[in-house]
Structure 1
Amino acid sequence: MQSQIHAKTSPAFKKKDKSWKVWWRLTRPHTLTAAFVPVTLGTVIAMTETEIHFGLFITMLIASLFIQIATNLFNEYYDFKRGLDNEESVGIGGGIVRDGVKPKTIMKAALSLYAVSLLFGVYICIYSSWWIAAVGLFCMAMGYLYTGGPMPLSYTPFGELASGLLMGMFIVLISFFIQTETVSIDSILIATPIMILVGLINLANNIRDLEGDKAHGRKTLAVLFGKRNAVIFMAVMFVISYLWAFTLIGLGIISPWIILIVLSIPKPVRAIKEFFKNSTPPQMMPAMKAASQTNTIFGVLLSLGIFIGYLL
């Protein structure tokens, strides 16, 4: 018993435990719903039209999560290389500036996740269509170019649009396509509010980092709008997301059970209130968290509503 206690309190054990926590932070867990929600939604929509291949669902889910984590690691690497991150930076994994992880280790981890995702992609293509390879490679390239390359998307006003399209709309449609071998107008319409909400996760991040981004020459949407107008824009887009879903009910495109999404409304309300009330990056973290949770809860309830409508 004493030897077991000693093992758990030894420097080696503590280092291993700390290492696990560092890499968990580097995944930026609050962003991973941007991968989980679209895959789930696309699969549930497909369920209303065909029998689901669960192997494809699981493979697509893991590949999307790996691509999202790799994108976060690229972000960590290039923000450090460009001097944006330091020990006081809020909202980063901090593996390089706080925990001493070598930048090349971060890059190797990101590329390794991309490599594994490619293998999953081959499986998906074998059981669906090789056209998915082209779309998947495009998504992966854009994930890298978000912070990498000579003109990163994260330095432009198009970061929100890119993340919304790629991790929102495209992932929903790919998940739908690999099950049904088609893309329908209905699937595009249902994916639209998720595209908006994924983009708003990015906007929330940029509102929090507005002053630092401005100082480093970034021209994000938040920098161009200014904090107040960016928050107003976010509020308008939240409203559009909900009204869009309610309109789909009225048009008979989607099950009335998706009215469950109203249960998620407190989250965007909190995000807007917290952004208006606070001004420093640490103070705005709860607002950013609420924006991310909006996508999670909205997406899960939307998927659940569609699934209940399918069963009934």
Structure 2
Amino acid sequence: MAIKKFLKLVEIQTKVASMIPFIFGTVYALFRFEQFNAYHFMLMLISLLSFDMATTAINNYYDYRKAVKKHGYGYEIHNAIVQYNIRPAVVVAIIAILLTLAIGAGIVLFLEVGLLLLLLGGLSFAVGILYSFGPIPISRMPLGEIFSGLFMGFVIIFISAYIHVGDRFASLTLAGGVVTLQIQLVEVILVFLISIPAILGIANIMLANNICDMEDDIENRRYTLPVYIGRSKAIVLFKILYYAAYLDLIVLYALRVHPIIVALVLLTLLPVRKNVKRFADQPTKQFTFGLAVQNFIMTNAARIIALGVAVLMM
């Protein structure tokens, strides 16, 4: 398969939604604990990127198989299987290879880090598969925003920090048939609070996508959140989530990130507000959906840079 077709099949441009939280967690581990493990970093990168590509390919394959409406902008242009006339057997083979890479690297990382990683990684794999596959995929229910936000926004950040710091976050041990979970509650709460922009930003990417696809989703029996609450309420929710994302600036300040750096992060609110208004005025996949991705990149990249600068100032 040509690389162009492969990249379209896995929608490589959307991998920013997993790579930014991955980098975020790594930089947070450096900032908070001054720890970095290059081997663990590479293993998680391979596993996470392979699995993210696999779930996207599964989603495209499932949409191809289940589509009721087989015409229109969304179907003919955005599904690579249709656009490039890719044989379904080839798609299945690619999915199998990507899943093998993801699981293989994940197992090696688990052997390096411990049982808690196996639990969190296994749960994430299960949610990722069920998101696109099964009798009622998560993506076809009004739960997509919640699951994608929490797992891609919080769990990825937690794991990507945990692989560097281990027991300083939490530990899970098995001895004599007894499972013991120990959690550093303050640290876990802090990493959750610092993850708020990623959680809400990823949720809003999903929400924007579902707002744009409402009509097609109804025809294809995808009962997403906007289908349930209506376009106008979904757009109001879209706006609220972005503004709520800035609550984590209080946490940055509490973690002793310099006030000037925090103030510079706050400046991203100006272009974010502009993009929110443009999307609300014309919510379409072709012209404004990309603004949700831009907002996610801006708000989270600003925080990564802020933490990175704070690391250099330590």
Q: TM-score range by the shorter chain?
A: 0.7 to 0.9
Does 2:8 align with 1:25?
yes
Q: Are the structure 2 counterparts of residues 178 and 85 from structure 1 closer, same or farther at C-alpha, using a change threshold of 3 Å?
A: farther
Aligned residues between the structures: 291
In the alignment, which of 193, 199, 203 is matched to residue 203 of structure 2?
199
Alpha-carbon shift at residue 32 of structure 1 (Å): 0.7
* Aligned position for 1:137: 122
Is this contact kept in 2: 1:35–1:68, CA < 8 A?
A: yes
Identity of aligned residues (%): 26
**1:59 and 1:222, CA in 2 relative to 1: closer, same or farther beyond 3 A?**
same
Alignment partners' CA distance in 2, 1:246 and 1:39: 20
1:251 to 251, 254, 257: 254
Q: Which moved more, 1:118-127 or 1:265-274?
A: 265-274
| 1:268 and 1:294 in contact (8 A); partners too | yes
Q: Residue in 1 aligned with 2:183?
A: none
Q: Name the SS for the 1:179 alignment partner.
A: helix
1:66-100 superposed Cα distances (whole Å, 9 cap, x missing partner): 11111110110111111156353428642221211
**CA distance, structure 2, for counterparts of residue 137 and residue 85 of structure 1:** 34
Q: Report the 3-state secondary structure (helix = DSSP H, G, I; strand = E; otherwise coil) of the residue aligned with 1:157.
A: coil
Give the one of 231, 242, 247 matched to 1:238.
242
SS of the residue corresponding to residue 34 of structure 1 reads helix
Comparing 176-185 and 250-259, the one that deviates more: 250-259
Q: Does 1:149 align with 2:134?
A: yes
Residues 167 and 81 (structure 1), Cα distance of their counterparts in 2 relative to 1, 3 Å cut:
same
Aligned with 2:221: secondary structure? coil
Confirm or deny that 1:222 pairs with 2:205. no
Q: Given the alignment of the two structures, is residue 94 of structure 1 paired with residue 76 of structure 2, yes or no?
A: no
Q: State how far apart, in whole Å, the 2-side matches of 1:219 and 1:132 are.
A: 33
CA shift for structure 1 position 254? 4.7
Structure 2 counterpart of 1:299, one-letter code: N
Say if 1:39 and 1:57, in contact at 8 Å, map to a contact too: no
- RMSD over aligned Cα, in angstroms? 2.1
Q: Is the 8 A contact 1:128 1:178 kept in 2?
A: yes
8 Å Cα contact 1:153-1:159 kept in structure 2 = yes
Q: Report deviation, 1:130.
A: 3.1
Deviation at residue 296 of structure 1 after TM alignment = 1.6
Deviates further, 266-275 or 188-197 = 266-275
- Contact 1:258 / 1:301 at 8 angstroms: preserved in 2? no
Matches within 5 A, 1:1-312: 19-48=2-31, 49-84=33-68, 86=70, 88-90=72-74, 93-181=78-166, 182-183=168-169, 184=187, 185-242=189-246, 244-252=247-255, 254-256=257-259, 257-278=261-282, 281=284, 284-312=285-313
**Larger CA deviation: 150-159 vs 49-58:** 49-58
Maintained 8 Å contact 1:186/1:253: no
SS in 2 for 1:106: helix
Deviation at residue 118 of structure 1 after TM alignment:
1.2
CA-to-partner distance for each residue in 1:48-78, whole Å, 9 max, x for gaps?
A: 2032112212221232121111111011011
**Could you list the runs of 5+ residues in structure 2 that have no partner in the other structure?**
170-186
Amino acid at match of 1:246: L
For the structure 1 residues 56 and 309, does the alpha-carbon distance in structure 2 shift closer, same or farther, using more than 3 Å as the test?
A: same
Change (3 A) 1:276 1:143: same
CA, structure 1 residues 118+88, in 2 after alignment: closer, same or farther (shift >3 Å)?
Answer: same
